[in-house]
Amino acid sequence: MRSIIKNRKQGSNLPISIKLVVKIALVASGFSVWGTGFIWALVGLYLFLPILRGILSVLVGFGAIILFLLILLTFL
């Protein structure tokens, strides 16, 4: 029983995760198919994703407020 608990606590001994290997393979295949434009698109997406999420959040909030007001005005 102790060995089972000990093995669970140790986790994986792999130096690199499978998820990272898949990401590297996808980037390499995208680079081979589309070239450097693919790399620049990934860099831009990585850098501006928080900004895009903020803009999308504001737009969804405005949409919810407008929808609420339309429903409120329709049924009154």
Structural domain count, the chain: 1
Q: Residue 12 has what pLDDT? A: 60
For residue 42, the enclosing domain spans 16-74
Asked whether residue 7 is assigned to any structural domain, the reply reads no
Stated pTM of the model = 0.51
What single string gives the DSSP state of each residue in 8-46? HHH----SS-HHHHHHHHHHHHHHHHHTHHHHHHHHHHH
Per residue of the chain (76 residues), give pLDDT as tens: 566 666 565 656 667 788 889 999 999 999 999 999 999 999 998 999 999 999 999 999 999 999 999 999 998 7
Asked whether residue 24 is assigned to any structural domain, the reply reads yes
Asked whether residue 4 is assigned to any structural domain, the reply reads no
Asked whether residue 58 is assigned to any structural domain, the reply reads yes
Asked whether residue 69 is assigned to any structural domain, the reply reads yes
Asked whether residue 68 is assigned to any structural domain, the reply reads yes
Asked whether residue 8 is assigned to any structural domain, the reply reads no
Q: Distance between CA atoms of 61 and 16, rounded to whole angstroms? A: 40
Asked whether residue 2 is assigned to any structural domain, the reply reads no
